[in-house]
Structure 1
Amino acid sequence: MRPNKRDELVSKALKVFYRDGFHATGMDKLVVETGVSKTSMYKHFRTKEDLIVAALRLRDENFRNWFFQRIDDMAETPADQIIVSFDALKEWFEEDGFRGCMFIKAGAEYQDKDHPIHVQAAEHKQLLLEHFTAIARQAGAHDPRKLASQIVLLQEGAIVSAVLLKNCDPAEDAKDAAKHLLAKALA
């Protein structure tokens, strides 16, 4: 099925926001980059912030679908899923155009906890935490929520380190730490 004009706009805007940031990307830049007139943009979205929320929703759906499927493909057990999540992250870090986590950026650029963009970013992180809590429970962790929180914290740290530090292997380092946490949680 061919995407409609609104979906095309969101998809194109997502790429621009990911590459250039939210505040640094004005409507004039979006017009040039997406090939959609301001009139058409405002027909679909009342504000740039509404467009950002739509782009974050699309990114959330795309990323979680890819990440969870990739983990499932690489692992045979729930415990393995926790560990290979870092291998999947490493694949992402090695992609051309990798610029970190769009949701971390959104939370940093829109820090008011009630702002719709911040809320959308936090929802993405909450969904990841819930997913890994379920996996930790299936793996037999004594405190699945705590293990999931620790694993997600390692994942988030690896993402930030992948962007900022050029002299380490953050996915591998986080994976090593996750193995210790998992062993402790299952003992």
Structure 2
Amino acid sequence: MHASEGTHVTSTVDPQTRTRILEVADALFYARGFQSVGMDDIRTGAGVSLKKLYAAFAGKEQLVAAVLAGRHATWEHGITAAVAAQDAPRDRLLAMYDFLEQWFADDTFRGCGFINAFGELGGTSPAVAEIARDHKDSFQRFVARLAADVVADVETAEELAAQLALLAEGAQTTAAIAGDASPARHARRAAAVLVDAATH
């Protein structure tokens, strides 16, 4: 019933309402988990009728996908800006970890939303699993481009990129569990050692 409602009235939901629903869903999913938050929680938080909620998003999986798309865009904007602020190729690589440290220090930080989504829903939702993999693949390619500016040898650059991405991923999980930003600093120091080893 809900899905069919969404298929013929989606266009009637104004962009501001859709944005409000997404903001509420993102905050609730990130703070409380994807499985524990129901569509009724989101409806209440966004101050919309259930009919309007399902008009905007045909089901919870579609809403989760939209939330993750927003998180991907925010992540890419933030990390790209942090990297672009640096001039030297080596500094651009290490700027990733400075960006992570700022993120980890935010009071709302609860780990990587994509890892959280995959952990909760990846086994039952192929769509969510694919979104999470695509996000991580995108980050790997981003790091690989940065590494290629530092290391001329293609194979060495690819290996360095894999190592640096792994450090970043590990830092996110560790910081979420520990509740502090220090894993970003540890990862940055380890990354500097790896970068210098690859360039000498």
TM over 0.5: yes
4+ long deviations beyond 3 Å: none
Q: Find the counterpart in structure 1 of residue 147 from structure 2.
A: 136
Aligned partner of 1:36 among 48, 68, 72: 48
Larger radius of gyration: 2
> What displacement does 1:117 show?
0.9
The 5 A counterparts of 1:9-158 are: 9-73=21-85, 75-112=86-123, 115-142=126-153, 143-158=156-171
Matched position secondary structure for 1:96: coil
Q: Find the counterpart in structure 2 of residue 165 from structure 1.
A: 178
> What displacement does 1:91 show?
0.6
Q: TM-score, normalised by structure 1?
A: 0.91
Q: 1:71 to 1:137 in 2, by over 3 A?
A: same
Q: 1:78 to 1:101 in 2, by over 3 A?
A: same
Q: TM-score, normalised by structure 2?
A: 0.86
Report the Cα distance in structure 1 between the residues aligned to 2:182 and 2:176, rounded to whole angstroms. 11
5+ residue gaps, structure 1, are none
Q: CA contact under 8 A between 1:71 and 1:85: conserved in structure 2?
A: yes
Quote the RMSD (CA, aligned, Å).
Answer: 1.9
5+ residue gaps, structure 2, are 1-13
Report the Cα distance in structure 2 between the residues aligned to 1:136 and 1:151, rounded to whole angstroms. 9
Q: 1:103 to 1:37 in 2, by over 3 A?
A: same
Q: 1:117 to 1:167 in 2, by over 3 A?
A: closer
Report the Cα distance in structure 2 between the residues aligned to 1:105 and 1:64, rounded to whole angstroms. 18
Q: 1:95 to 1:33 in 2, by over 3 A?
A: same
Matched position secondary structure for 2:149: helix
> What displacement does 1:11 show?
2.5
Identical pairs, percent: 31
Q: CA contact under 8 A between 1:141 and 1:185: conserved in structure 2?
A: no
- How many residue pairs get aligned? The number is 185
Q: CA contact under 8 A between 1:9 and 1:34: conserved in structure 2?
A: yes
